[in-house]
Structure 1
Amino acid sequence: MQPLRLDAVNPFTGKIFTLDDRNLKLVNGIGMYLEPSDPDFVPYPGQFLPAPTQKTKKHTMPKSDFMPTDDHGKASLFVLFRDNVGQHLTTLGIAANDADIVQQAADATRFRAIVDFCGNMQNAAQGWTAEKNYERDGGDSAPAGQTVPELPAGFPVAVPAGIVRRFRDLVKRLKAIKNYTPPIGQALGIEGTVQAGPDLAIIQAIIALSIIGNAVLISWGWQGFSAFLDMLELQVDRGDGKGFVFLTYDTTPNYTDTTPLPATPTKWKYRAIYRVGDAQVGQWSNTVEITVGG
């Protein structure tokens, strides 16, 4: 479905749209025109529409972010990369004196030193806090003598801010190289772990309904599993005795049912189920209903 503009030319006939065109719809006060992929599209005279096909996503197992969430983990990753990238540079076609590689080595050395020194400072702070409390309140035994950590000799010089950003940019550069392989990434610590997919036997879609203008908005989402699912199948029962009938296959969360509302108040019911390829997977959603018309 596409927005309709003044004096728009119908791309399927080459002529300006006319008001009696059955493919024109008013959605939330906005003029729209249907496309052949829309379920209610009416072919124009002489127009041949091939049988609709369902585009199946190529499923690849998603991976978690390779970047640790804590500073000790980040420091260890940077050092691992620094100490191992050299043996892969020839394969990747990168010179040993490449500016990004040289900067990463400096970043890794500096960040590791800072993280370790911060740990020493925190330990010292805890010791001094214990000393303060003992001198204030007394106790069975005095804390061990307190010291103030000093920067060790040869402490690495400061580097420009943005160590994590630079590292991510470097990783992105490496992964775009033709000769890059996941085993190289694993050796460098830049391949995340494979995430487990949903149980396709029990996953259940969740939908919610609301009235937007003169249409029903069906809200839904992937529940974090978009990489493992292809689409959502929606069915509707409009209270006309036909029971649940097919409404649409939707590949993008949230769908607007533009079917004209009845003149008298009526309960419409909806349900949904996920699909992978040509098959339904999991369980039907709970049936939800909404009163429309009147």
Structure 2
Amino acid sequence: MNAGFQAVGGEGESGVKLFRYKYTTGWNAENNRTTLSCPRNTGAIKVVGFSPHRSDILYGPMAFALSTGNRLYCWNVGRSSWPRSPTRLGPSWYVDCNSSGSGGALRDEITNAAFVISPIGKPHILCTVNHRPGSHLPPTFIVPVDTLEYNPQSLRQQMNPIPDSVVGSSVLAGTASRNGRFLIVLEENGHNDYNMKLLTIRGAHTGGLTCSATGMLSWAVRLRVTNTLATKVSIFIQEQNAALEIIAIDGQGHIVHSRISVPEMLQDQPRPLPPLIHEAPYELAVPD
């Protein structure tokens, strides 16, 4: 690989800058850069990232961002847009996660976001939520990136909350395995009391993705997180043969490491799976 992207978050409707780097004798920035526009964004961009490297991803490589106002954005940043890249690129999909009714979400309530690609290549966004009293924002949820849907209410209806039997109300961070089979989330149970959870991704009854309590694993971790540092918690998953290596780093530099046995899982081998009968008409289920 001799080229790469870097996305930098800022504020307002010109909230993300995309830079391209090329490797010759070292990594060198190219002169052209692209502004990824964030319509109706009045806050700052708190999370920015890219889709995992999967050749089967629908729509191709994407960048995504989360704002402090609970708005999500995705842009198609496939290599076909370079070198004649536009100076400004509008989102191919975006959603205001706040309720359209009288009650809304509280600013900065979505603590983190991560890209999820299902086993058949459909893109989704996982949003972890620190749910607060009086908020109308759903608990931690997964929303499909549907570039053919533009109606704000329809987009919000596609947000699939993970059941409260699976995750609690205060989830600070999360990420997905590259093969689209597992989520890792970090929960706060009390003052300086945190749990990591491994969840199996499944097809939801109404379409899209969710998780169930079946096969869930939970263990305590020694991390230090404050509300202002929640988005600085980084979680990484490395897939190996029959195992997942999990590393989490908090905003103060504390590192925890876990290794989870996953029998019969092959390294970097995502593949289509048969759907649950009558339960997942739009997504393929992920068995135990």
Between structures 1 and 2, the one with greater helix share: 1
Between structures 1 and 2, the one with greater strand share: 2
Q: Between Structure 1 and Structure 2, whose CA radius of gyration is higher? A: 1
Fold match (TM-score > 0.5): no
Q: TM-score, normalised by structure 1?
A: 0.17
Q: TM-score, normalised by structure 2?
A: 0.17
